[in-house]
Chain A
């Protein structure tokens, strides 16, 4: 069955960096694009970034553009989110989600990993 498992979350100081991973199984990873979506504590969902199936195109929310980088390693069935210059407002649960195209809905989601930005 399709599984997505995020890791790499934790507590980090403002201005520092963190790299999230999403290991997938149960489907042909390099046939699908992927999204990162986050949810601040007690708040709604916010789309963060998208990457095409082959990694050639990436798209970002304005709130993270220039600070976050989405990437993937299709040989390892793994999606990444490199987060630099973190701010308190980046505190959230980060979900990876499968989406065939940038316009596609997210049909499978991981359980999320919590990132807390605090001094």
Chain B
């Protein structure tokens, strides 16, 4: 199972919006609405911020939003803040009863 493809890095200024893409196949991202996104600050465990493509867990800022089109999912961070600097990973359920993560994206706030 190959990792989902994400850009290695994305940057933006405070207050701007950025979008991170996550490209898979019809056997994972494109085949199911079971795409999730995780935020991982340096040295910390991952934290779930989006599940089932568009849903936010309780307590997660509404500045985070998710979407999907075909085999590509996207995470948008609006009103970028310095606290958003972290690594971000997408993940998807797959057709072989597995999970697959994305390659990860480092977000830098300029």
The interface of chain A, by Cβ under 8 A from chain B, is 35, 37, 44-47, 50, 59-62, 95, 102-107, 109-112
Chain B 84-110, CB-CB to A under 8 Å as 1, else 0, gives: 000101010100111111111000000
A residues less than 8 Å from B34 (CB atoms): 103-105
Total CB contacts across the A-B interface at under 8 A: 64
A50 in contact with B48 given A44-B89, A102-B93, A103-B32 (CB within 8 Å): no
Docked pose: A112 CA to B36 CA in angstroms: 20
Check: B63 CB closer than 8 A to any chain A CB: no
B98 touches A61 (CB 8 A): yes
B98 touches A59 (CB 8 A): yes
B97 touches A45 (CB 8 A): no
A residues less than 8 Å from B99 (CB atoms): 35, 47, 50, 102
A44 touches B103 (CB 8 A): yes
Query: Besides the contacts A106-B36, A107-B48, what 17 more A-B pairs have beta carbons closer than 8 Å?
Result: A35-B99, A37-B101, A44-B101, A45-B38, A45-B89, A45-B91, A47-B100, A50-B98, A50-B99, A60-B98, A61-B1, A102-B97, A102-B99, A103-B34, A107-B51, A107-B57, A111-B45
Check: B47 CB closer than 8 A to any chain A CB: yes
The one of B45, B51, B87, B98 in contact with A105, judged by C-beta atoms closer than 8 angstroms, is: B51
- How far in angstroms is the closest Cβ of chain B from A65? 10
Mind listing 5 A-B residue pairs with CB under 8 Å? A44-B104, A45-B46, A61-B98, A102-B97, A107-B51
The residue in chain B whose Cβ has the minimal distance to the Cβ of A103 is B93
Docked pose: A111 CA to B46 CA in angstroms: 9
B residues less than 8 Å from A35 (CB atoms): 99
Docked pose: A73 CA to B87 CA in angstroms: 33
Q: Enumerate the 9 nearest inter-chain pairs by beta-carbon distance, A residue then B residue, closest first.
A: A105-B36, A103-B93, A47-B99, A44-B104, A105-B51, A109-B45, A45-B101, A103-B34, A59-B97
